[in-house]
Structure 1
Amino acid sequence: MTRDAAIRLDHFMARANAAYYSSRDPFADFITSPEISQMFGELLGAWVAVTWQRMGAPDPFILAEAGPGRGTLMADALRLLSRVAPACYAAARVHMVETSPRLRQAQATALAAHADVVAPVWLDAVPDLPPGPLVFIANEFLDALPIRQFVRTADGWDERMVAGEVFVTRPATDLPASGPPATRDVPEGEVLEICEGALSIARQLGARLSHGDGVALFIDYGYDGPGWGDTLQALCDGRPAWPLARPGMADLTAHVDFAALAIAAREGGCATWGSVTQGAFLSALGLFPRAAQLARNQPGDVARQISEAAQRLAAPDRMGGLFRVMAMTAPDVKEVAGFEGVTPLAPDHAGMGQHRDRAGEG
């Protein structure tokens, strides 16, 4: 590829990740929270049950997961629901937002035990979700969405482009009309990342939740504040790799800008809760009592493994601090499980008119 043939980073990332997820087993390169311990999915199942009850126990309701991986989280959640909240379990209409045929098959296998009661439906994109009361979960979904990178200059912004295996910069000609480039005071020479897909999803869900029952939950690694910096990373064969080398052979991700995500959601018309750390969220849901319950009467090595898994998920210096959790609700919702003591931020009515016409974007 010549310098003249340089392409936008988000276009490169979209093609590379589409090839990667369609041809490789991503779990050979990384492990997600549901794969670390059943406790993660069980706690999310309990969260679903409490959320459903607070919504008035609608029957039916849509239980959706975006980026479901192998289906482990949903399988653990449904197993918990079938045991302790059978009415919620029976009312659930499971929808999985997944484009990879390989992963869809893995998810079907993971959920086979529930197919007679809550047979899943697969969709290609979040806007394809049908209308109705919604409980939406996205764990490590946003980090794989394509990003753009802009570099602050003395005169404005340049955009980083991909030319072969190197970055080149060009004067930015189509900056997003709103969001961090317009609002964030970034030092000269620093990189600002924008995930337009994530912001669009936040606005879409914000518009949906603004006038109907439902809660959306996002769990991902990222930051909550006016940050900047290059967070693009690649994993290939379980090891860090140069992101522009061997496209389609590595998993490309970037940290989630939860502050920008929350602003976009409120522009859509909903309220936002957090973000809070994953450790705080899981602790509020009862992670450590659940770990103690599972470890009781187990052999010493098994008990230690359960305790270590809980620490890995929640410790501040591990996933508990690196990952963050944010909820989106209708403006009149008074409480969300896991966010006790958190004050929700109200919709941005000033921005709703500006973005309402974008609610259907993909």
Structure 2
Amino acid sequence: MADLKTILLGRIAQTGPMSLSDYMAECLLHPDHGYYATRDPLGAEGDFTTAPEISQMFGEMIGLCLAQSWLDQGRPAPFTLAEAGPGRGTLMADILRATRAVPGFTEAAEVHLIEASPTLRAKQRALLGDAPTWHDSITTLPEDQPLFFMANEFFDALPVRQFIRTGPAWSERMVGSENDSLAWGLGKPAPHPALVHRLEDTKDGDLIEFCPAAAPIIQAIGARIETHGGTALIIDYGDWRSLGDTLQALSAHEPVDPLDSPGMADLTTHVDFEALANATPSAHSRLTAQGVFLERLGITQRAQTLAARLSDAALESHIAAHRRLTHPHEMGNLFKVLALFPKGKPPPPGCET
């Protein structure tokens, strides 16, 4: 069977250069060679580590935040408890464990996981059992009940298009071929209606990123929340508005060239949270640094409680995990939190309007 690089070079030879969005989709989701379709990418033996894998405290804080929002909205039952991109299922397992202390919450929750990877679905089933309902897309989540939703490092993996400004027009960055290797190129300058607002804050030569898939997903989530109630927590690395090339490829926790080994490395970009906020029909919070969000929820007090039971190497690892999640020079400022909630209702704990 041909490898993905050979397949992509053949496609380019037949139909011409492809957008970065198409390239990312093939690298991540190709059924035979896609990164997420063929492996468990998490942990020390994988290519990256997410917050739920660093410490149980992350999931505990998220679970109690969602539970308090559920209480604030009148304890609706039943409700959809959903996660997009749930990895090994660690975050959902921690959420369910932490919220068992909230009367009625887990009994009313119907767990749904949005996961495209067969490998990761198997990991999730091994941890969570057969109780969750799995989905390929957010659009198939239940439409007629409140939605309490979590997405941690989900939007950063959605394919993006990149454009470089040329006067009032934009040249799209494309993936083509050169000397039997994948290579970058540029399309012809042309106006782009979705990028008109970026003419006000960019200059010639600036590169911006645009994620076509993000707005429809947020619209679907926000519409369910606005109509039926609920809360969404979007946690990812990025900022209010993207500027510059943020594409990165990781393999064995080290950066690699995104074009070198398609399908063998994780590809991500920084999330443009302004685009998400503008797309939701619900209310949304201010963008909040992850460290601030977790501290408002009481992660330091929880860390101190857990530390009292630990010693030696286990204690040192625990302290390092707390620092990694919250410190401004680690994940604390790099990762941001955006909450969605119904208009007229309070934002979830840890977030402000």
Residue deviations 1:186-229 (CA, integer Å, cap 9, x gap): 1110111001111221222223323221111100000124x410
Asked whether the 8 Å contact 2:79–2:108 carries over to 1, the reply is yes
**Match for residue 65 of structure 1 among 76, 83, 102:** 83
Shift of 1:104: 0.4
Q: Does 1:231 align with 2:246?
A: yes
CA distance in 2, matches of 1:14, 1:66: 17
**Match for residue 124 of structure 1 among 125, 131, 136:** 136
Q: Does 1:271 align with 2:283?
A: yes
What is aligned with 1:255?
Answer: 270
Q: Does 1:208 align with 2:224?
A: yes
Q: Which runs of 5+ in 1 are unaligned?
A: 344-362
Which amino acid counterpart does residue 221 of structure 2 have in structure 1? L
What is aligned with 1:12?
Answer: 23
TM-score by length of 2: 0.89
Relative distance call for 1:180 and 1:137 in structure 2 (3 A) is farther
**Match for residue 38 of structure 2 among 3, 19, 23:** 23
CA distance in 2, matches of 1:246, 1:181: 35
Which amino acid counterpart does residue 68 of structure 1 have in structure 2? P
What is aligned with 2:294?
Answer: 282
Q: Does 1:152 align with 2:152?
A: no
CA distance in 1, matches of 2:191, 2:328: 39
* DSSP-derived class of the 1:317 partner: helix
Shift of 1:249: 0.6
* DSSP-derived class of the 1:324 partner: strand
Which amino acid counterpart does residue 156 of structure 1 have in structure 2? A
CA distance in 1, matches of 2:309, 2:342: 43
CA distance in 2, matches of 1:184, 1:157: 13
Matched-pair identity in %: 44
Asked whether the 8 Å contact 1:152–1:186 carries over to 2, the reply is yes
* DSSP-derived class of the 1:303 partner: helix
What is aligned with 1:198?
Answer: 214
1:30-179 equivalent positions in 2, closer than 5 A: 30-82=48-100, 84-112=101-129, 119-131=131-143, 132-164=145-177, 165-171=182-188, 175=192, 177-178=193-194
Over aligned residues, Cα RMSD in angstroms?
A: 1.7
* DSSP-derived class of the 2:323 partner: helix
Shift of 1:141: 0.2
* DSSP-derived class of the 1:171 partner: coil
* DSSP-derived class of the 2:204 partner: coil
Shift of 1:181: 5.3
Which amino acid counterpart does residue 235 of structure 2 have in structure 1? I
